[in-house]
Amino acid sequence: MVTAEAWRLTPGLAWVTSLVHVAVGLFGLAVGVFLIATLGISGGIASPIGYVLGLLAILAASQYLLAGVKSIFAQRPIGLAARKRACDTCAQCGYELSGMPEDQGTCPECGARYVKLVEPWSRLQRRVQGHMAARERERTLGQGSKD
């Protein structure tokens, strides 16, 4: 079964397509201005065909350019949310991994290997908790041997 997630663009590819939209839009604007300049006024006589073609090219190019610029600005919050969510979801299928063991494992949904990212402070917290538990065990073992 193919899901919609399979057709989603990766963040890097989305940036490239947005930049292509912007480049094509800028090129179209230049073509529109060129059409107006060359066909619109030829030999001092105004030609309505040149103006119409130039304005249509500028209109189409500006729509393409605006779509590219909009997608560039829209990707920043999406990228931030994806980075925040990256440590809790499988990169292959998007399965929620929040309750899974950390470090390395396999996704129960698709079987892909994953490395779960852990915040540095949580590693430190686990270390401190481990040391505290070890001291507690030593203390309880030390008290038990005195009897």
What's the pLDDT at 72? Answer: 72
Please list, residue by residue across 45-57, b when 16 or more beta carbons sit within 10 angstroms of its beta carbon and e when fewer do: eeeeebeebbeeb
Higher pLDDT: 15 or 133? It is: 133
Q: Any idea which residue has 């309750």 for tokens?
A: 99
What's the pLDDT at 55? Answer: 83
Quick: pLDDT tens for 36-93.
777 766 655 667 777 787 888 888 888 878 887 777 777 655 555 555 555 567 777 7
> How many CB atoms sit inside 10 A of residue 66's CB?
13
Retrieve residue 15's tokens.
Answer: 């940036």
